[in-house]
A and B are shown apart, each in its own frame.
Chain A
Amino acid sequence: MSHLDAARFQMAYSLAFHMIFAALGVGMPALLATAEFLHLRTGDDEYMRLAKTWARATAVLFAIGAVSGTGIALELGLLWPEFMHFAGSTIGPAFALEGYAFFTEAIFLGLYLYGRDRMPPLAHSLTSLAVAVSGATSSVLVTAANAWMQNPVGLETLRANPEQMNPWIIFANSHWWVMALHSTIACYAATGFAAAGIYAWGMLRGRTDTLRRKALAITMAMGLLAALTMPLTGDASAKVVARNQPEKLAAMEALFVTRERAPLLLGGIPNEATGEVCCAIELPGFLSFLAFGSFNAEVMGLDQVPREEWPNIPLVHTSFQLMVGAGMAMIAAGLYYLWVRWRHPEQVSADRRLLWTLVIASPLGYIALETGWIVAEAGRQHWTVWKAMTTAEAVTPAGGMGASMLGFTALYAVLGVILVLLLNRLSHEAPEGK
């Protein structure tokens, strides 16, 4: 593995790991706040027990998210010092504002997790809302840094006349709000479905108490609501990618030749050498329509991109297919749940077919989150900053890349395994708060 590949692997691996906990850091507080609100509203103590159970898991998960996030902030400079030298003061405002939001989230999470007996109940419940709001704000703000790498607005000014840069320009980026909404809402979908799957699994094993039924209802409500909006923000994402990064769209859809009436591919295995896609279902004109709103629009293909600038086409195409597929499957599973719940509300916890569906759907949100991120980042290669700085130009000249890559791979792998074992144990101890 080359120096550059090792650096890319370490960064990708660290982010893939951090993302799991960052998403929970957005999603879990929303669940907590919902349970707290329902407890206040109904006076039903089961909601409080639910909140306490979730809080125990959140304490561990948030800790891992916080320390791995510190890792990302430092790794940006350790692995990509040239990128940070070039762009640090431009993307910095996003990190600075996100910093305040994340700081607030960490403070109120401390208050929420440990302050139940030290604060008036209403004030304590409100801290969960503060955590949820600041967590979402932090996710939305930090996405601006990544959106700038995809669509570096103000690049000419930065190069020719940096004194004239507008520091707010990263928020005046058409890529930002679309990405921010799409990826932040994805966190709720991923958290909701992951948690719902755990409760469905418990119900299959006979744990069908009212507490778990309430938990399933809350987690599925959040997961399904989020999943239903994903195609809307996804469509908006595809349109800004078509406009700002046509090369990436071509890679996502494995469109090797520029053409009008470009087809949308379902599945398929692209072959970079021959420029053909095997075994895909073609929907003629649908790519043109999705990208530009007209079935006859011309869509740029990879023939317009120098071969050495291609991203990894099979990876990007397959990830895109997986993301869309997982998203659609989540909606289907969620609607199936809704239908059963509407027809036979008392049957939900006994309907084995439904429960198995929810168990299988459990990881789909995370699959969509991770593959969607691979589409955005692997599709950006070989650029670090789109059309401005390549990944090879951004990487550190320091030696020892192989060792740090292996070290971090091992570290996060071990932490991941331990965490799974730990959460498994915690979930068996639940319901807590007796």
Chain B
Amino acid sequence: MAPWLGLDPVVAAAAVMLLGLLAYAVLGGADFGGGIWDLLARGPRQREQQMAIARAMGPVWEANHVWLVFVVVILFNVFPTAYRALGIAFFGLFHLVLVGIVLRGAAFAFRAAAPADSRYWLLWSRVFGGASAVTPFLLGLAAAAISGGGIRLFPDGTVQVDPSLTWFSPVSLLMGLLTVAMCAYLAGVFLTVETSGPLQEDFRLRALWAGALLALLALALLPLLPAAMPQLWQRFARPTSAPLLVAGAGLAVLSAAAVYTRRYLAARVAAVGQVLVLLGGWAAGQWPYIIYPDVTFHAAAATGPSIRFLLNTLPFGLLVLLPSLWLLFRVFKAEVR
């Protein structure tokens, strides 16, 4: 394929998709985490915690979840072979993800319209929180499944899924939990920036717990990787990956230390960096496979002009999107208490 601005268009499109995925992980992930803390709201300030979460999410959650649609649209535009295989392999899993997304969105909106503390308010809180905890777990499972070698695409087009290498493998379950912990950590850190006083201390403590859980899960995952995802492991074991690993570990320590010492703005930056490195590292380790071991990005790429179309229209799309997003976050997130 002819280069696009000197780049391999497949690589460029994959990079755009990754950027979308990173945006979804940070922004959508924090929304899921908000739901998790809503579910786990406890203590004398339980209701205040829930209200702070609702205030933080209200204006932005819908936009944050469009990033998932953005990624899906790029996937079928540019990598239709992979979209087909994943559509078949993830039939059950993504139907469950959908139920989660629909339920948490609907419950959040229903709750906002219900009188505070009414029976309905409490019911919708539970649905919103429960779906917010389960959905990222399922998304983590999906990420593990495409790296775990359990989804096979044969030359005749048959798609086969080995449940012991996908949904039910220890690595997958750990990656699911890791995703949940990551969402909870992000939300905890973000909420410290948007609250003050005792409420801020509540979220600080929650962020620290989630950070500790995240670290524990990562440590538990590490010894399993060489056997379960050798292609990822080999890549990370190379000396050239060292800076990435150091950066990831460094940011994790930095963000936790910043939360601990109540430097919340710094913690927010470091936590975002940590997630970007974690997910970006996974994606880089995954290259050149979009679904390991049968589908590479290049093999899955559409032969037609859709890649070029996507890349050429991207600057115009971003010309509308980025200033709008800037305005949204400027209006609702610039105020630091």
Contacts and interface: CB of A to CB of B under 8 A. Distances in A.
Interface of A: 56, 59-60, 62-64, 66-71, 73-78, 80-82, 84-86, 88-90, 92-93, 95-97, 99-100, 102-104, 106-111, 113-115, 118-119, 130, 158, 162-163, 165-168, 396-400, 404, 407-408, 411, 415, 418-419, 422, 426
B247 to A, nearest CB: 30
Contacts of A397: 88, 159
A140 B318 CA distance: 20
Nearest to B334: A118
Interface string B240-282: 0000000000000000000000000000000000000000000
23 contacts: A63-B108, A63-B109, A66-B65, A71-B102, A74-B72, A74-B94, A78-B94, A81-B87, A84-B80, A84-B87, A85-B84, A89-B302, A89-B306, A93-B306, A95-B73, A95-B76, A106-B66, A110-B332, A114-B59, A115-B331, A118-B332, A165-B305, A418-B106
Interface residues of B, number: 62
- Tell me the dominant secondary structure on chain B's binding face: helix
Contacts of B92: 398, 400, 404
B26 to A, nearest CB: 16
B308 A167 contact: yes
A66 B62 contact: yes
B113 A396 contact: no
A205 to B, nearest CB: 22
B331 A77 contact: no
Nearest to B100: A67
Contact of B88 (A62, A67, A81): A81
Contacts of A411: 99, 102-103
A418 B123 CA distance: 12
Most buried by B among A76, A103, A114, A158: A103
B105 to A, nearest CB: 4
Interface stretch (B164-172, B223-231, B320-328): B320-328
B101 interface: yes
Which 6 pairs of residues, A with B, have the shortest CB-CB distance?
A92-B77, A63-B109, A77-B87, A81-B87, A398-B91, A167-B309
B77 A88 contact: yes
Given A60-B113, A73-B69, 14 more contacts: A60-B112, A81-B83, A90-B304, A93-B309, A93-B310, A96-B73, A103-B66, A107-B321, A107-B327, A110-B59, A110-B62, A396-B87, A411-B99, A426-B113
Contact of B102 (A68, A73, A93, A108): A68
B209 interface: no
A158 B90 CA distance: 27
A63 B69 contact: no
B65 A56 contact: no
Contacts of A59: 109, 112-113
B98 interface: yes
Contacts of B77: 88-89, 92-93, 95-96
Contacts of B4: none
A106 B63 contact: yes
B307 to A, nearest CB: 8
B265 to A, nearest CB: 20
